Structure 1
Amino acid sequence: MKLGARILKTGIAIMLALLLSELLNVPSPVMAGIAAIFAVQPTIYRSYQSILEQVQGNLIGAIIATAFVLLLGNHIMVIGIAVIIVITINLKLKLENTIGLSLVTLISIMESPGDQFLEFAAIRFSTIMLGVFSAFIVNLVFLPPRYENRLYHKISDATGDIIRWIRLTARNASDHNLLKSEIEKLRKTLSKADALYSMYKEERKYFKREDAVKARKLVVYRNMLSTSEKALEMLNRLHRFENEYHMLPEHYKQSIQEQLDCLITVHEQIMLKYIGKVRQEAAEENPVQCLDKREVFRLFIARQKEYEEEEDNHLYHTLQIVSAILDYGEHVEHLDILVTSFLSYHRGENEVEIEEQVLE
């Protein structure tokens, strides 16, 4: 089990909130610790957004709690009605993420009103906001998230697994049931990579020049994801129509296998070229020669004419495999253009950042 950065930051945020509460002699410092738990976010940008939302949500909870106690007291029925109103207001204002902490603020204020209730309410509200700001400080200073590293390696690992399965399946060497479960796992892995892409997209740069580099990187990573998804779709079709594929004439199956080997080799090379493990000059001097996509389609048409007596379903399923190969090939070609263009304009600006290791 890995000790993740968010686990560490949550612990540090709680300690900081409790420490500040103790230094400021705040009563019930535990409320600050609870608030810090709610406020820890995976990115600095989300943490900033969270503060804005939490201030609004906690104000709603504090105002409703104060008004209800002053007007109706703190009977359990009154607290229940106040909870319903706070939830409704938060939903109307699209502050769904703050509902939990708003209710903590509400209940902590309404629990035991005394003679100096307004002062008590203000202290409770301030204590909770202390926890929120403690979490923001920790997210900003301690272990700032570096999602680019994790994003690249998540895509690269998934792509490597997909490519290995394509090689095996194209040679009739994969287990049908095992491959079926692996395809589902790979879909989930790419879904997690997509979530990491969203988090990386939210990270903010401090200089305009860095913004320009990041904008190009976002395009590259988006296409890395889509190319891996197309590879997985092709693997899925090879798996789904494996009987039809292995019933193909040997010379035609050999042509498809050679095209697949070529495409996945180029795909691997692109992923390594992006992080500087394959020299761009070497790739240009010794390019991997794949069949032209028009030639792949001509092979299918020639086979259709040659075997017109075959049932339509067999040809239709073969066409599904061919179309997936063509689609994957176009994405690989486009990704190669994007990576080559990026490295031409930003040579040396990516290697170190990708190779650094960060806590998961």
Structure 2
Amino acid sequence: MKIGARVLKTGLAITLSIYIANFILPTGYGTLAAIGASLSTKPSIKTSFETLVSRIISNIIGGIIAVAMMYALNTSPITIGITCVVTIAVLNALNMSNVIPLSVVNITVIMLGKTENYYSYALIRILETTIGVVVAFIVNWLIFPPKYDRTFFSVLESTTLEVLMLLRAALRKNTEFSTLNTDLQWARARIDKFKELFQLLRQEWLFTPKQRIATSRKLVVYREMGRATSLAIELLDALHRNSQVYNDFPLEMRSRFRRRIETLMSAHEQILLKFYGKVGIDEVNYMSMKLEHRDEYIQMFFDHVRTDTGIDTESFIRGGNSIIEILAASIHYEEQLNRLNHIVRLYKKRHDHEEIPFQHYDETN
């Protein structure tokens, strides 16, 4: 069982909401404040603020509709159901579907209240819900505000290093097919986690244009890092799915291909080190092949397609496609590394003074 900061903040927001609601409003109120707080602690400050605004607006809309329906049709289960339907339709039309649950709860509580003064009762309930939403936002903002930089880099670095180790093993035919299946599923799940954290980083609440510009620059680098790791996974997947074809490569061809990929993987690691300041800005220039060597290298694959993929058409197409798929995956990986290297070099030359939130080989580990 894991209790994180967000869970603790939710509990704190609920407690404070109930206390504040009972202090400001008549005794006995606090239920909607607690519900509002529990539904409003979001993973980023920006999302929390957007939720705060949306929920206040939706609660006002729901309260107005509820009071109007009670005066027009009185209170009954059918009236409550109709009111909820109308409110949901209005909120959907306003692109506020994410705040519908709390609005429906608010409407139900208002319309089930045994009081003749609908206006004051609805106003109190709306205020009560607003207290919970506001308290949740303030708690999320001031107490352990979400910081995803460290987790982001931890996921990126550990996934990259693990994938490169798996690639080295696959290149030397040291992996089990079933085990690598599981490893690829893990790697894809980690990339999904990376993308989720990247979106949260994009949603950071920044106050000044200078902060926003600096963060945007870093996000460009982070995005290209993620793409490089994703393409390394695609190359590993291509080798895995076409392992029989790769194992049938001529010895010299397989040796040259392995050396080429190991060069790219070494460059990948050193580009990350360059970003962390461990490698010189103008280093890692050994990835590119001379033009004549590149032409010969690529021609080697096409020659193998023509000579060693079987005599029947089906075998030729299937085997040839597998060979070209392996080559294409390696070229895509190489192109992305060149792009990443260029972007990191520019970033370090122009903005090396900006703080990097996570340092490679953190001394606290």
The question of a shared fold, defined as TM-score above 0.5 by the shorter chain, is answered with yes
Question: In the alignment, does 2:286 pair up with 1:289?
Answer: yes
How far 1:291 sits from its partner (Å)? 5.4
Q: Is the 8 A contact 1:280 1:340 kept in 2?
A: no
Question: In the alignment, does 2:351 pair up with 1:354?
Answer: no
How many correspondences in the alignment? 352
How far 1:350 sits from its partner (Å)? 2.8
Alpha-carbon distance in structure 2 between the residues aligned to 1:315 and 1:25: 75
Q: Is the 8 A contact 1:270 1:339 kept in 2?
A: yes
How far 1:223 sits from its partner (Å)? 0.6
Give 2:297's aligned amino acid.
Answer: L
Partner of 1:7: 7
Give 1:301's aligned amino acid.
Answer: Q
Aligned pairs for 1:217-296 (under 5 A) are: 217-276=218-277, 278-280=278-280, 284=283, 287=284, 289-290=286-287, 292=289, 295-296=293-294
Question: In the alignment, does 2:21 pair up with 1:21?
Answer: yes
Tell me which of the two structures has the higher relative contact order, counting C-alpha pairs closer than 8 angstroms and 6 or more residues apart: 1
Counting aligned pairs with the same residue, the percent is: 26
Question: In the alignment, does 2:297 pair up with 1:299?
Answer: yes
Alpha-carbon distance in structure 1 between the residues aligned to 2:271 and 2:262: 14
Residue deviations 1:268-309 (CA, integer Å, cap 9, x gap): 122232223x1325x72xx46345185345223135447743
Partner of 1:140: 141
Alpha-carbon distance in structure 1 between the residues aligned to 2:108 and 2:290: 66
Partner of 2:313: none
Alpha-carbon distance in structure 2 between the residues aligned to 1:99 and 1:76: 19
Alpha-carbon distance in structure 2 between the residues aligned to 1:318 and 1:191: 28
Aligned pairs for 1:165-244 (under 5 A) are: 165-244=166-245
What SS class does the counterpart of residue 71 from structure 1 fall into? helix
Give 1:147's aligned amino acid.
Answer: Y
Partner of 2:109: 108
Provide closer, same or farther for how the CA distance between residues 307 and 156 of structure 1 changes in structure 2, counting only shifts above 3 A: closer
Partner of 2:333: 328
How far 1:211 sits from its partner (Å)? 2.1
Provide closer, same or farther for how the CA distance between residues 114 and 156 of structure 1 changes in structure 2, counting only shifts above 3 A: same
How far 1:229 sits from its partner (Å)? 1.0
Question: RMSD in angstroms over aligned alpha carbons?
Answer: 2.0
Provide closer, same or farther for how the CA distance between residues 99 and 53 of structure 1 changes in structure 2, counting only shifts above 3 A: same
Aligned pairs for 1:61-80 (under 5 A) are: 61-80=62-81
How far 1:25 sits from its partner (Å)? 4.0
The answer to which of 3-12 and 163-172 deviates more is: 3-12
What SS class does the counterpart of residue 43 from structure 2 fall into? coil
Alpha-carbon distance in structure 1 between the residues aligned to 2:112 and 2:68: 14
Give the ranges of 4+ consecutive aligned residues of structure 1 lying more than 4 Å apart after TM superposition.
Answer: none
Alpha-carbon distance in structure 1 between the residues aligned to 2:214 and 2:169: 38
Q: Is the 8 A contact 1:68 1:78 kept in 2?
A: yes
Alpha-carbon distance in structure 2 between the residues aligned to 1:212 and 1:160: 30
Provide closer, same or farther for how the CA distance between residues 125 and 303 of structure 1 changes in structure 2, counting only shifts above 3 A: closer
Alpha-carbon distance in structure 2 between the residues aligned to 1:307 and 1:7: 57
Residue deviations 1:151-210 (CA, integer Å, cap 9, x gap): 222111211121111011000001101111221221121112111111101113223222
How far 1:327 sits from its partner (Å)? 0.8
Give 1:180's aligned amino acid.
Answer: N
What SS class does the counterpart of residue 144 from structure 1 fall into? coil
The answer to which of 107-116 and 300-309 deviates more is: 300-309
Residue deviations 1:96-142 (CA, integer Å, cap 9, x gap): 11100100110110012313222111111100010010011111111
Q: Give 5+ residue unaligned stretches, structure 2.
A: 310-315
The answer to which of 90-99 and 307-316 deviates more is: 307-316
How far 1:315 sits from its partner (Å)? 3.3
Q: Is the 8 A contact 1:293 1:326 kept in 2?
A: no
Q: Is the 8 A contact 1:262 1:288 kept in 2?
A: no
Alpha-carbon distance in structure 1 between the residues aligned to 2:290 and 2:93: 53
TM-score normalized with structure 1 length: 0.92
Residue deviations 1:224-244 (CA, integer Å, cap 9, x gap): 111111111100000011111
TM-score normalized with structure 2 length: 0.91
Partner of 1:310: 308
What SS class does the counterpart of residue 307 from structure 2 fall into? coil
Residue deviations 1:236-277 (CA, integer Å, cap 9, x gap): 00001111111111111111111111111111122232223x
Q: Is the 8 A contact 1:275 1:350 kept in 2?
A: no
Partner of 2:89: 88
Residue deviations 1:67-123 (CA, integer Å, cap 9, x gap): 111221111111111111111111111111110010011011001231322211111
Alpha-carbon distance in structure 2 between the residues aligned to 1:260 and 1:306: 18
Give 1:8's aligned amino acid.
Answer: L
Partner of 1:97: 98
Give 1:320's aligned amino acid.
Answer: E
Alpha-carbon distance in structure 1 between the residues aligned to 2:326 and 2:252: 16
